[in-house]
Chain A
Amino acid sequence: MANFADVAKQFVEFYYNQFDADRKQLAPLYRDNSMLTFESASVAGAAGIVEKLSSLPFEKVKHAVSTLDAQPSGDHGGILILVTGALLVDEEQRPMNYSQTFQLMPDGAGSYFIYNDVFKLVFG
C-alpha cells in the first residue's frame, strides 16, 4: 500500500508548482465529478474548474506551503489533506495566508485525482 502521507506530500508539491507555473495545465488532476470551492464559489467538473482557476484576477502567483497534514479518508484509499501557507500574487508585496483542503481519490490506475478542493484566503 502506498504511504498516504508521501502521496499527499508529492501531490501538494506537484499541485502548487504546476499552479504557479501555469494553472491552465491543472485539468488532468480533476475529473468530471470533481468539485472546487474557491472563496465560496463552487464549480464542478475539470473543464469548469480550470476555467475558474484561469480566470482568477492575477497573472503571477507564488504559493509557499507552511503546513501540510493528511489523513486517510474512507475505505477506498482516499486522502484528506489540509494545507496552510502564504500566497503572493502579481506585484502585491504582502503575502496572504490561505488554507486549502483537498480530498484525493485513487483513479483506479495507480494514481490519484482531486475529488474536492476548498480554497480560502484567511487573512488580509
Chain B
Amino acid sequence: MKGDSVIITASSEDIAQIQKLDKFSFAGSVLSIQACDPPSPQAKESGEKEPTVSQAAQEAKDRFRAILAARYDANLKLLNLSALALDAGLRQMGVFDGSTTTSKVFPAMMVVCDSLFKSPQEKRDAIVSVSLADNELADVSAVTTLAQTFPDLKNLDLSGNKFTDIKNLNAWRWKFRHLENLVLTGNPIESQPTLKDELLRRYPNLQIVNGVTLRSPEEIAAAKAIAEATQSPIPIAGPDFRDVSQVGENFIRQFLPLYDNDRSALLGTFYDSQSVYSLSLNLTSPRSHEHSVPIAPWTSYIKYSRNLTKLTHLGARMSRQHKGSQAIQQVWSALPPSRHPELESHADKYLIECHPIPGLTDPSGQSARGVDGLIITMHGEFEDQIETATEKSLRSFSRTFILGPGAPGGPPIRVVSDMLTLRAWAPLALPQISSISPETQSTNDPEQQKREAITMQLVEKTGMTPYYANLCLTETGWDIEQAFIAFTANKDKLPADAFMPGVAR
C-alpha cells in the first residue's frame, strides 16, 4: 500500500480484464487502474509484471462474482439480471445511489462475466439465456455491452422495461445473430402492430416473440436459401446500356441468333479482315454445390483455348488468336452448334453492359486520333450440341466486344475485337435491388396495400403460401420478376408447407 494505492500482482491475461475497470466510479470515488510500466527492479529480476489495482476494485470484482453466481441458474443456463436496482448486494455496494449508475455498473459486470470463462465456447455452453426484465430501461444504451459479452445468446427477456419504439433497440440492430426467442411484454412498444415483422427482419434466427411462435426453423432455412441465392457481398447491378443510337443493342440482338444459326452470315455482317477473335476456357470456375450439373467434355473447345496464364509458347499464343473473318470462320465452323436463350423473353439470363470508348483506329485512315466506338461486355449461358454427346450441354460465357465504324466498302459497324471465355454452367448472379426501408407501414398505407397485391400475384403465380410469398418478395426488394426468379431457382429446396394445400409443385 502506498497512500490510497494498492499494488497487486496479476497474470498478464488478467491485467487486460482488470484494466477495463479503470475509471469506473465506485462508492463515490473514481477508480484509477494502471499497469506498472516499467516494472520495478525486483519484478524485472523475477520476470513478473506488477500492475496496480486498487483494493476497492478487487473487492468490487469479487462482489460482482458473488452477485453473478447467485443470479445464475445452471440448469436453465440462465443469467438472470432482472431488477438489478432491487438487488440487495448491489445496493450494499452503493452502486445504485444515482440514476446514471446503471451505465457504469453494467459494463463492469459484463467485464467480470467475461473473465469467468476461458473461451467463447465455454461461455456459449454455460449461458444461453439472459433476463434483463424490470430494469426500467428506456433504451439499450446502458446495457449494450451484453451483445459483446454474449453475442450468441438464444433467449433474451426484456419484459417490464420502458421501451416505446423499435428505435430504442437500435444499438442491437445487427447483434444477436443467433437469437431465437425474445420477450418484450410489459413494454409500451408491445402494442405496436409492426413490431413482430420488424424483429423477424432484424434477427434472422428469431422464432418466438412474446411467447408466440412466428416461424419454424424450417421456414428460417427456406428464407435463408432464398436470401443466399439473391445476395452477394458486392451489390450486383442489372444490365446497363449506355449506348449510342442503339448501335450496341442492335448488334447484340442480331449477333445472338446469327451466331446460333448462321455464323458465316454473322461474319459477313459484322466482321472484316481486321477483326480479332480469341477464345479461352475457364476450367476452375467455382460453382456452389447445388449447381453441380454434370459438365460436358470440353474436347471441341480445348485446342482453341488461349488462356495466357497456361499458354506460354509464343507460337501457340499467336496461332490461337484469329485475325480476319476467314480465319475466324475456320474456328467457328469447328466449334459445336450453339443455342443462346432468346434475349427478349429471357433477359434475366443475360448481364450486358455497353459503354462508349474513344480512340479506336480509324479504318478510313482519316483521323489520326482515332474514332469513337463501343465496348460491350456480355455474360450469359448457351446450350451446345456436341456430335458424340446425346444430350445438349449448358455452358456459361463472358464475352467482350469492341465495336467500331467499318472500313469503306465493308460492314458499317464492325467488330474490332471479340474475346470469349467459357466455363462450366452456373446461374447468373441476380441483380440486387436495394432492400425496402426498415420502417414498416400500417395496412392503410397505399404502399402496404400495393405490397399485399404483389404478394397475392406471386401466390397465384407460384402456389406459395402468402407468408412465403411475402418472404420471397422482401428478399428481392418487392420486384415480382426477381421474386419469381428466386422462387424458380429455389423451389426444390422449399418445404412442403411453403405451398398452398393441393398445389402441384
Q: Could you tell me which A residues sit within 8 Å of B by CB distance?
A: 3, 5, 8-9, 35, 37, 39-42, 56-58, 65-76, 78, 80, 82, 84-86, 89-90, 92, 94-97, 99, 101, 103, 105, 115-116, 118, 120-124
Contact = CB atoms under 8 A, between A and B. Distances in A.
A118 B278 contact: no
Nearest to B308: A68
B427 interface: yes
B394 interface: no
A100 to B, nearest CB: 9
B281 interface: yes
Given A37-B353, A71-B417, A120-B353, A58 B237 contact: no
Contact of A96 (B314, B396, B416, B429): B429
Contacts of A116: 355, 357, 375
Interface in B212-238: 228-238
B234 A58 contact: yes
A80 B377 contact: no
Contacts of A94: 286, 288
B353 A124 contact: no
A86 to B, nearest CB: 5
B94 interface: no
Contacts of B416: 73
Contact of A67 (B233, B238, B307, B359): B307
5 contacts: A69-B280, A70-B308, A74-B370, A84-B421, A120-B353
B377 A101 contact: yes
A69 B429 contact: no
Interface size class of B (residues with CB under 8 A): 35 or more
Contact of B234 (A42, A56, A78): A56
A57 B231 CA distance: 13
Interface string B312-325: 00100100010000
A89 B281 CA distance: 24
Contacts of B282: 66-67, 84-85
Given A67-B421, A71-B417, A121 B232 contact: yes
B400 A101 contact: yes
Contacts of B233: 57-58, 89-90, 92, 96
A66 B355 CA distance: 25
Contact of A39 (B234, B284, B285): B234
Contacts of A90: 233
B357 A99 contact: no
Nearest to B230: A124
Interface of B: 228-238, 240, 242, 276, 278-288, 306-309, 314, 317, 321, 351, 353, 355, 357, 359-361, 370, 375, 377, 379, 396, 398, 400, 402, 416-417, 419, 421, 423, 426-430
Contacts of A69: 278-280, 306-308, 419, 421
Given A57-B234, A74-B361, A76-B359, A118 B307 contact: no
Nearest to B287: A123
Contacts of B400: 80, 82, 101, 118
B194 to A, nearest CB: 28
B331 to A, nearest CB: 14
Contacts of A35: 355
B482 to A, nearest CB: 13
Q: Which 4 A-B pairs have the closest CB atoms?
A: A40-B237, A40-B240, A95-B286, A124-B429
A68 to B, nearest CB: 5
A39 B236 contact: yes
Given A41-B237, A86-B286, A123-B287, 17 more contacts: A40-B237, A66-B285, A66-B309, A66-B423, A67-B281, A68-B308, A71-B276, A82-B398, A85-B282, A95-B286, A96-B286, A116-B375, A118-B375, A123-B428, A124-B236, A124-B429, A124-B430
Contacts of B309: 9, 65-68
A97 B285 contact: yes
Nearest to B305: A67
B469 to A, nearest CB: 22
B234 A68 contact: no
Contacts of B288: 94
Contacts of B402: 73, 80
